[in-house]
Amino acid sequence: MEKTPSYFVTKEAPARISSMAKGTKLIVVVRDPVTRAISDYTQTLSKKPDIPTFESLTFKNRTTGLIDTSWSAIQIGIYAKHLENWLLYFPIGQILFVSGERLISDPAGELGRVQDFLGLKRIITDKHFYFNKTKGFPCLKKAEGSSKPHCLGKTKGRTHPDIDQEVVQRLRDFYRPFNMKFYQMTGQDFGWD
């Protein structure tokens, strides 16, 4: 197993992985691209507090509403574009798309889908999780080989800055056609809007 979020958006990755192991099963966790962009911005902001506002980085021209698709936080969420590249090398049946939202609302259900996809016996169930209100995420009741609960690290579950709702709506409108295409390509409606 190997993982990194950047594989899905790196143009060369599908060809390289295919040439190494054509039968590889791929698991891609996706979430609402607007939320994802804000989350990426929040992570950058935690490292560089003096960066421009989310709103100013979102647009090439705010007056006309032209979205800056060269900004990586925006580009990553155009999932249909990235998937097209992967489908040149892998059939859709070798790729499982996991909903980031359902990982939070129903972690055992989403992990059940992962276990099925990998041909594994379903071992992970609801009994393995509890919801941590402070983090806003489900956590493992205990980590493997430990008696202590395990939650995502302190870099996960950060509070997002308040973003102008008009900007959020413009981004929803921008992503909508890409999301619809992605739903069609995957046969899965993620319910983003």
- The answer to whether 157 is a known ligand-binding residue is yes
- The answer to whether 31 is a known ligand-binding residue is yes
d(CA 66, CA 170): 9
- The answer to whether 159 is a known ligand-binding residue is yes
- The answer to whether 150 is a known ligand-binding residue is no
Question: Topology of 7-186 in CATH?
Answer: Rossmann fold (3.40.50)
Q: What angle do CA 54, 101, 10 make, to 5 degrees?
A: 60
Q: Where are the domains of the chain?
A: 7-186
Looking at residue 143, the DSSP 8-state letter turns out to be -
- The answer to whether 39 is a known ligand-binding residue is yes
Indicate if the alpha-carbon torsion angle 165, 136, 34, 68 is positive or negative.
Answer: positive
Looking at residue 170, the DSSP 8-state letter turns out to be H
- In tens, the pLDDT along 42-64 reads 989 989 989 999 999 999 988 88
What are the tokens at 21?
């192991």
d(CA 104, CA 7): 23
- In tens, the pLDDT along 91-129 reads 999 999 999 999 989 999 999 999 999 999 999 888 888
